[in-house]
Amino acid sequence: MSQDFWYQRPVLVTGATGLLGSWLVKHLLDHDAQVVALVRDHVPQSMLVREGVINKIPLVHGGLDSIDTLRRTIAEYNVATIFHLAAQTLVGIAKLDPIGTLEANVRGTWNLLEAVRQASPKTQVLVASSDKAYGSSTDLPYLETHPMQGEFPYDVSKSCADLIARMYAKTYRLPVSVVRCANLFGGGDLNFSRTVPGTIEATLAGRPLLIRSDGKLIRDFLYVEDAVDAYMTLAEHQASDAALYGEAFNFGLGIRLTVLELVEKILKMMGRPDLKPVIQNIAKEEIRNQYSDSSKAKRMLNWVPRFGVDEGLNRTIAWYRKFLAATTSEAVGVAAVR
């Protein structure tokens, strides 16, 4: 990545307190970018908050539902690059609240892109889609040419957002590109219903993980710092190549692990292979097999992941050991005061 490209570049990050957003903001600041974050809720446990990084950047308090706020932010901060990461990202929540998920992920995306079209049509936007936008397919691995055919609430929300992003690029020639990452993992993910943080947390607590599926769902994965590299690399290339407007890119490690295989790998790495997970087999309406081909990113962007799954997991486990030890100490301290 180019230090010169990011130096003093005005960048807006939506979803900045999430897993990817937190790491992205830190890397952008390391590259001397001028970062502003759109923040809807205060998340005290967020890595961005706990490490004090959030105090180093301007914050715009608001959501994607206000196009006026988005227009004002883009214009006032003279934003050159937008990383649109804000979304409702949990599959289970999407099933419980499909309308809220569609509002956040679909309407939120068109509001942002419409704000760009009205306020600053030269501002580049990188939209976070997902490999789930492809939906179920027997033709694997996914290529970027596969159709968007999500069937379940979360998957449909990403399919729609993906199509809308490319619509704005093709129709209005906005500098918009789409990122379709495999399942992200890394320190800072506070959604313990997800496999990686859930397994680590349960293992450190000495209890077996409850796997809601049958454990045989096949997924590809990507360590969060590799995802940060992917976003920043694509932004650098897109800024000088209009041919990338409307283009989508897959980013993943290119591995095929079942949920159970991933859990067993983590247990072995943490020295607790005796903690056998409990297979509940109650999860429904989920894509069985998902994995993508990232050769387009390698060919056109010269992107390859720096961390394999083992190195990524080692870093992730170390982060949660420190984080959970600290939060336990804080809880004990509060109890002692009381």
Would you name the residues annotated as active-site residues? Answer: 154
Q: Is 286 exposed, middle or buried (0-12, 13-18, 19+ CB in 10 A)?
A: middle
- Three-state DSSP at 136 gives coil
Which residues neighbour 22 within 8 Å (Cβ) at sequence distance 6 or greater?
Answer: 16, 46, 47, 48, 53, 188
The residue type found at 272 is: R
Token pair, residue 74, equals 């883009």
The residue type found at 286 is: E
What's the CA gap between 244 and 272, in Å, rounded? 46
Cα 215 from chain centre:
23
Please check whether residue 95 is in contact with residue 152, taking contact to mean a CB–CB distance below 8 angstroms: yes
Cα–Cα distances in Å, from 315 out to 92, 122, 198, 272, 308? 27, 38, 15, 17, 11
Greatest CA separation for the chain? 61
User: In 3D, which of 249, 189, 255 has the Cα closest to residue 222?
Assistant: 255
What's the CA gap between 129 and 293, in Å, rounded? 15
What's the CA gap between 200 and 93, in Å, rounded? 22
User: In 3D, which of 85, 20, 24, 17 has the Cα closest to residue 50?
Assistant: 17
What's the CA gap between 139 and 76, in Å, rounded? 46
| DSSP label of 277 | P
The phi and psi torsions of 250 (rounded to 5 degrees) equal -85, 140
